[in-house]
Amino acid sequence: MFMDPVEHLRITGGALKNWIIAQAQDSLAVGLLWLVGLHLLDVPWAPFWAFLAAVLQFVPHLGPVLGMLGPVLAAMVRWQDWEHPLYVLVLYAIIVVVDGVALQPYIMKRTAKVPIWASILTPLALGIIWPFWGVLVAPPLLAVLFAYKRHGQSQSADRN
């Protein structure tokens, strides 16, 4: 069945809009996790570092790492030991795992209607096939693919 270009733009644009909303929700959740964790660790400028981590969450791979550097350096300067920066690194590891295994897949399923299994496995597979770029394009690509899948299913249901 032929679909006009306007329909393609509507489906793709809607899917990308849902992905951006999901990404913004994920960034907000990560920022809140950083805020709580940094306050518990009594790291100076915790709200600033949490805000920066939330903004940098939009940048795949590099953003979360950059968001972690400030709090580690702040802990290092404040306490001048190795333990407190290590606590911040442990907090970072916890946030990355919680975000990658629970938050992102759940938010993508709820907002962009991408199944949890797809949002976990596809970035891994594309990251192996096309390092860095595969993981970068996987979430919006999944949002668009599943939008077309839903559109096709609704069209076939309408015909029956």
Predicted local confidence at residue 59, as pLDDT: 85
132/86: higher pLDDT = 86
Residues 72 and 78: their CA atoms lie apart, in Å, by 10
- Please determine, for residue 79, whether its predicted confidence score (pLDDT) is greater than 80: yes
Structural domains counted in the chain: 1
- Please determine, for residue 80, whether its predicted confidence score (pLDDT) is greater than 70: yes
Predicted local confidence at residue 1, as pLDDT: 54
38 located within any domain: yes
pLDDT digits (tens, 9 = 90+) for 99-129: 988 999 899 889 888 998 998 899 889 999 9
Domain that holds residue 47: 5-155
pTM of the entire structure?
Answer: 0.87
- Please determine, for residue 44, whether its predicted confidence score (pLDDT) is greater than 60: yes
Three-state DSSP class for residue 2: coil
Residue with tokens 């270009």: 5
Residues 53 and 64: their CA atoms lie apart, in Å, by 6
117 located within any domain: yes
49 located within any domain: yes
- State the average pLDDT over residues 47-62: 93
Question: Whose CA is closest to 104, among 93, 91, 92, 117?
Answer: 117
Residue-by-residue DSSP string for 19-86:
HHHHHHHHHHHHHHHHHHHHHHHT-TTHHHHHHHHHHHTTSTTHHHHHHHHHHHHHHHHHH-SSHHHH
33 located within any domain: yes
52 located within any domain: yes
Across the chain, what does the average pLDDT equal? 92
160 located within any domain: no
Tell me how crowded residue 70 is: count the other CB atoms within 10 A of its CB: 18
Predicted local confidence at residue 157, as pLDDT: 78
